[in-house]
Every structure is written in structure tokens, then in C-alpha cells.
Structure 1
Amino acid sequence: MKIEEGTVVGLNDNGLVDVKVGRHSDCISCGACDGAQHIVVQALNPVGAKVGQHVKFEMREVNIVIGAFVCFIMPLLVAAAGVFIGRLVAQSQAMDVVNLEIAGGIIGFLIGVVGVKLFDRKITNDANARPKIVEVVQGR
């Protein structure tokens, strides 16, 4: 588990809170947030933190690695598989190899993007995958 700190900036009706987190070394090397100085994550709130309170929350590191793989690597792997399948189909049917490789790559990439969206829906509804507030930091 990775412990992070942030400030509660909003309460949601579904029992989650919005926590504003400053970027750190992991975020800087990722670059997925377009250089934002702060990001907002939705976290479970079992301690009853209120807006404006500084909190510590835990995130499962495996979720970060799996999420990065699914978002960045999986679509490329599926696109490469599409290119390979397009080549096999073209060779077996005596068709233009390059055009079917391109079509296979595009179709594979689109399938990969749909896979990312399905993964996002699954992980959004999984309470175990969400960050969880573990304590309110006093004196801030």
C-alpha cells in the first residue's frame, strides 16, 4: 500500500470524497495529466473527513501498475496483433498485405480502446480499487 496526503475538496452523494493531491515523482514521470500541479482523486471516506481537512489515504500500488499497463500498453499490443492477423489473412487469401495490415492494426487498436473503457467501468465500481482515507492529519 502506498500512503499519500491530500486535502478534501468535495463530498459526493455516493459516500466518496474528492481529494486534491499534489504531483510527486511518480506523477511527473507519467505525464498523463497534462502537467497539472494538482490532481483530484475520489476516495472512500471511512473516517468521516470533512471538506478542507488534510488527510492521509492509501492506494494499492498494484492498481497503479495494472492501470498503466491497460491504458498505455494493451491497446498497442492488440493493435500489433491486429497487424499480424491482417497479414495472415492477406497471405491466405492472396490479397494486398499492406492494406490488410493497416486495417488489422486500426481494428486492433479500436478493440484495445474498447478494452480500456471496459476496464475503466469495472475498476470504477470496484471499492477495493479505490483509494481509502486512513486518517485525518491534525494541525494543518
Structure 2
Amino acid sequence: MKTTCKEDVRSHCAVNYGVEIFGDRWSLLIIRDIVFAGKKTYGEFLKSEEGIATNVLASRLAFLEEQGILSRAPSPDDRRKDFYTLTGKGLDLIPIVLDIVLWSAKHDSKSYVRRSKAFVARLRRSPMQVSEEVKALVRDGGCIFPESKE
């Protein structure tokens, strides 16, 4: 189980804090799904190709909300569903996710960003500019590849 308060962290090292908050596989994949595919609901996250278990998804969503990375609000169309969006703190993770994309593209020949070599090339050329554009896009409810939403 992840720690939920700053007093419970193993150390006050900046790397450790980040690892404890967003360093597990599922948390970053949830953030990826919001940024790249525009997923917003529990059901949409559940459909991701990595096959997250329902209990793990529920736990990670609750943890990310507790940590101020995600906010949850009822769907305007269906009050039985909740929409998860990135908070300011969550939006600040976008440059990290984009750096992971660049690192993976460099070191894993099978790594890909769906349908967009051009996006990776642009990210390599102007990482700060692309990062700010993506943050603004996601802040306004958009995503990088809206057609990839399942």
C-alpha cells in the first residue's frame, strides 16, 4: 500500500517523494490515459490494454485523488459516473510523462506513441514548448490523441 501522508515517506529525498507518489506502474498509466487518450471514467481506465485489476484501479484512483494529483466530479451527462481530471499538481507531471516517452523512444526499439512519429519528433525538438501546449490542452479537457479514446 502506498503512503498517504508526507510524514509516512521513507525519506525526504526528492526522488523518493516522487517515486512514492507517482512511481508505481498503474498511477503513471492512469495519467497517460488522461493525457494521451482523454480517458476520464473508471470504465474507460479499466479498458486500457495493460489490463489493470478492478481493485487496483479503484485503489490507485483513490490514492491519486488523496494526493491531489486527480480530482473527481460527477459526470454532467450521467451522475452515476465520476470524471477524473488532473489537478494543477497532476498537470505538473506531464513533462515527466513526456520525458518517459522520449527516453523509451530512444532506448526501446519497440516503443511507440500510437499513430504519431511526428509527435515524438516535435517533442525531441521542442520539449518545453510541447509540454506547455499539452498542459494547456489537458487543462482545457482535451488530450493529445482524442481519436484513441475507447
* TM-score tier after normalising by the smaller chain length: under 0.3
- Which structure shows the higher strand fraction? 1
Instruction: State the TM-score, normalized to the length of structure 1.
Output: 0.26
Return the index of the structure with the highest Cα Rg.
1
Which structure's residues are more often helix, by fraction? 2
